[in-house]
Copies of this chain bind each other. A is one copy, B any other.
Amino acid sequence: MEKTGRTSVDGRVEKRSTIGDVARRAGVSAATVSRVVNGVYDKASAKTVARVQAAVDDLKYRPGSIGRALRKQESRLVPFLVPDVSNAFYSAIAVSVEAALRDREYAMILCNTAEDPVRQDAYLTEMSSHLVPGIAMMGAVESPGLRAMVEGGETLVFVNRRSPYPGAQPFVGIDNFNAGRDVAHYMADHGLDRCGMICGPEASAASRDRRAGYLSGLAERQISPEDAHLVKGGLTVEDGYRSATELFSRNPQPRAVFCVNDLVAYGARKRCSELRLDVPGDVVLFGIDDNPLNEWVAPWLSTVHVPADAIGEAVGRILVEIWDGRTMSDIPDAILPYRMVLRGE
C-alpha cells in the first residue's frame, strides 16, 4: 500500500518533505522556515529568505495541512451542506462556493444532507472533528445539533434558506417574498388570474416567503386567497408531479401555476403532458432558481433566476469577514438581485 506523495523519475513514491527537511537543507531552524513560508512580517534577512526559498524549491516542499491544523486548532476545510447535489441549481451554487473558497485558500468539502435532520447532524458533528473554521449550509433543516450550534454562536452561513433558529448567523440569498410577489403580479397583469401555486415545505422559510409573496401580490391585484389555489408540496420533482396531479384535479383548472422551485415545475410539466395540456399554451408554469439546464431541456419554463455565481462569492466574502474577526451579527445578510426569465412565449 502506497501513500500519496511525490514521485521520482524512477517511479518510486517519495515521502513528502517536511518543514524539518527544508530547515536542514537551508541550514536554518524550522521556525524560520515557517515564518518565511508564511510570509510573516517580522521579516527574515534577504539572504535567509533566499536560502529558504531555494530549499523549498529543491525539495518541492508544500506545507502539510494536518500539522498546521493541529497546531492552530483550525483547519482550512469548509463543509458546505446541500440538500441535493444532483439538483443542477444546487450544484451550480456548490461550484461557485468552491471557487470562492479556493480563491481564499480554503478547500470546500461537499456534504449531501438530503434534507434529512439525522444526516445533517451526522455531518455537523463529523465536521467538528476536522476542526473546521466554519460551515456553510444550504437548505438547512431543524435538528438538535444545528440548534445547538446556532445558539452557541458558531460560525455558520445560511444559503438560500434562512436558519430555522434565531441567531446571529448571516444569510445569503434572494428576497423570496418579493420574488413570489413579482410572479403573482406578472400573472395578474397578463390575464393569468386563474392561477395556482404548488408550495414547498412549511419548515422552509424560503418556501414560506415565496408563498406569502405570491398571496400578497395577488391580494394587491384584488385576487383573494381562495382564488390563489394553494397546494402543499415538497421540493423534489416527484413532489411536483404529485402536487400537480392534485391541483389539476380541481375545478377550475388553473391557467398558470407558480411552482416553489424549478424541479417541482419539471414534475408539474409531466402531469400536464399526461393531461395533454400544452405548456405554456394551455398552462403557464413558473419556477424559481433557473436551473442551468432550463435553456436546453425546459424551454417552456418561466422562472426566477437566482444568481448562483454571486452566491458563492458572497459566502466566501462573509466567511472571511467572520474569520477576520467581524462579529456575525454586524454582518448584513447578502440579499442578491434576481430577475424573471420568461420562456416559451
Interface of A toward B, CB cutoff 8 Å: 1-7, 11-13, 16, 62-67, 69-70, 73-75, 77, 85-88, 91-92, 94-95, 98, 107-110, 112, 125-135, 148-149, 151-155, 237, 241, 266-267, 269-270, 273, 292-293, 295-299, 322-323, 325
Query: Which residue on B lies nearest to A167, using beta carbons?
Result: B11
Q: A85-B91, A109-B107 are in contact. Are A131 and B3 (CB under 8 A)?
A: yes
Q: A62-B129, A65-B129 are in contact. Are A296 and B86 (CB under 8 A)?
A: no
The one of B11, B63, B109, B297 in contact with A293, judged by C-beta atoms closer than 8 angstroms, is B297
Number of copies: 2
The answer to whether B266 and A152 have CB atoms under 8 Å apart is no
Which residues of chain B are within 8 angstroms of A134 by Cβ–Cβ distance? 4
Query: Which residue on B lies nearest to A241, using beta carbons?
Result: B296
The answer to whether A7 and B86 have CB atoms under 8 Å apart is no
User: A4-B127, A4-B134, A266-B293 are known contacts; what are 19 more A-B pairs with Cβ within 8 Å?
Assistant: A6-B128, A7-B154, A11-B151, A12-B152, A13-B154, A66-B69, A66-B130, A67-B70, A85-B91, A85-B95, A86-B91, A107-B109, A107-B126, A107-B130, A108-B110, A109-B109, A237-B296, A267-B296, A273-B299
The one of B65, B132, B295 in contact with A4, judged by C-beta atoms closer than 8 angstroms, is B132
Bound state CA distance, A4 and B2, in angstroms?
33
Bound state CA distance, A289 and B92, in angstroms?
20
Q: A16-B128, A86-B95, A94-B85 are in contact. Are A152 and B298 (CB under 8 A)?
A: no
The answer to whether B70 and A66 have CB atoms under 8 Å apart is yes
Bound state CA distance, A209 and B323, in angstroms?
49
Q: A70-B70, A134-B4 are in contact. Are A112 and B86 (CB under 8 A)?
A: no
A-B contact pairs, 19 of them (CB 8 A): A1-B322, A1-B323, A2-B153, A3-B74, A4-B131, A4-B134, A4-B135, A6-B128, A7-B148, A7-B149, A11-B151, A13-B154, A63-B129, A66-B70, A66-B131, A85-B85, A85-B91, A266-B297, A270-B299
CB distance from A306 to the nearest CB of B (A): 14
Which residues of chain B are within 8 angstroms of A67 by Cβ–Cβ distance? 70
